[in-house]
């Protein structure tokens, strides 16, 4: 009788362990780890502890698959920001006393914080990037000072032609004017100003401005604003080039 009792107890313990293991498996399958190496298909990572990459020795990221849908911004949010930059570009050209398309060559600088002119962010860089595109779309000659003299090809990674490494860039560019922009944030509003500055003299040729409400997208782009530890140690000269003949682009 005692043997039967012990046998029944063992069966109950085994059944409980199996149930707990099954329960754990269901829970643990909610964690997914992106390993940089091959992992057997039946492998289950059985600890909820997450170690820093420096402890693990590999670079991996965790994704929590709880089934809860994350708030995803609609595509229209980014489209609205793009359209705003297009409106700024149109304002810029409309306010000029002299024709710009086909007559002037421009360079575009990153938009910076109004309070710290060496500070920029993902928003400031995007505004400049999109402004370059919008001006080109409006048939303005625009140069990109980040272009390297030659294309670099890295096996297994890709081909590169843009850089911010001064050792890889030309130190002089010819342009008639530079597009400079600033932004400021206050009470949930973003104030953007942009002007076209004549090279050598700094004369403001035209300007444009806009105010729009900050949203989740622009807040994320402003999150990691920063500036160099010191004033730039290298200079890229952007100056007026030789006069072009009529009809020359």
Instruction: Read off the pLDDT of residues 167-178 as tens digits, 9 standing for 90 and up.
Output: 888 878 889 999
Q: Going from the N-terminus, what domains does the chain have, and what CATH number goes with each?
A: 2-64 (no CATH), 75-228+235-239 (3.40.50)
Identify which has the larger pLDDT, 75 or 204.
204
Does the predicted TM-score (pTM) go above 0.75? Answer: no
In the prediction, which pLDDT does 5 show? 55
Residue 76: the pLDDT is 79
The 8-class DSSP code of residue 94 comes to H
Q: 61-81 pLDDT, tens per residue?
A: 333 333 444 566 677 788 999
pLDDT band at 9 (very low <50, low <70, confident <90, very high): low
Distance in Å from the first CA to the final CA of the chain: 103
Pairwise CA distance, residues 114 & 54, whole Å: 38
**Cβ distance 81 to 218 under 8 Å?**
yes
Least confident stretch, 57-71, 107-121, 215-229: 57-71
The lowest-confidence range among 26-30, 41-45, 100-104, 145-149 is 26-30
Is the pLDDT at 26 greater than 90? The verdict is no
* Cβ neighbours of residue 130 closer than 8 Å, sequence gap 6 or more: 81, 82, 85, 86
Higher pLDDT, 175 or 165: 175
Instruction: Using the predicted structure, report yes or no on whether residue 134 has a pLDDT greater than 70.
Output: yes
Percent of the chain past pLDDT 90, that is, above it, reads: 47
Among the residue ranges 37-51, 190-204, 217-231, the one predicted with the least confidence is 37-51
- Measuring CA to CA, how many Å separate 107 from each of 90, 150, 171, 181? 16, 20, 14, 12
Give the whole-angstrom CA distance, residue 138 versus residue 88.
12
């Amino acid at each position: 009788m005692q043997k039967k009792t012990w046998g029944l107890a063992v069966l109950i313990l085994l059944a409980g362990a199996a149930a707990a293991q099954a329960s754990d498996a269901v829970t643990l399958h909610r964690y997914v780890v992106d390993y940089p190496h091959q992992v057997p298909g039946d492998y289950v990572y059985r600890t909820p502890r997450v170690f820093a990459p420096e402890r693990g020795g590999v670079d991996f990221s965790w994704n929590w698959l709880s089934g809860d849908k994350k708030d995803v911004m609609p595509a229209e949010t980014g489209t609205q920001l793009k359209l705003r930059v297009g409106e700024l570009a149109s304002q810029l050209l409309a306010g000029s006393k002299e024709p710009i398309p086909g007559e002037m060559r421009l360079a575009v600088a990153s938009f910076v914080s109004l309070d710290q002119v060496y500070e920029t962010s993902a928003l400031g860089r995007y505004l400049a990037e999109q402004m370059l595109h919008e001006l080109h779309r409006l048939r303005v000659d625009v140069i990109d000072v980040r272009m390297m003299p030659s294309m670099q090809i890295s096996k297994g990674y890709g081909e590169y032609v843009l850089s911010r490494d001064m050792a890889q860039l030309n130190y002089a560019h010819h342009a008639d004017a530079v597009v400079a922009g600033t932004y400021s944030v206050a009470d949930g509003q973003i104030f953007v100003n942009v002007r076209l500055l004549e090279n050598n003299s700094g004369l403001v040729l035209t300007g444009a401005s806009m105010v729009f409400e900050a949203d989740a997208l622009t807040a994320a782009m402003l999150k990691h604003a920063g500036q160099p530890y010191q004033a730039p140690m290298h200079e890229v000269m952007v100056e007026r080039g030789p006069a072009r003949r009529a009809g020359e682009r």
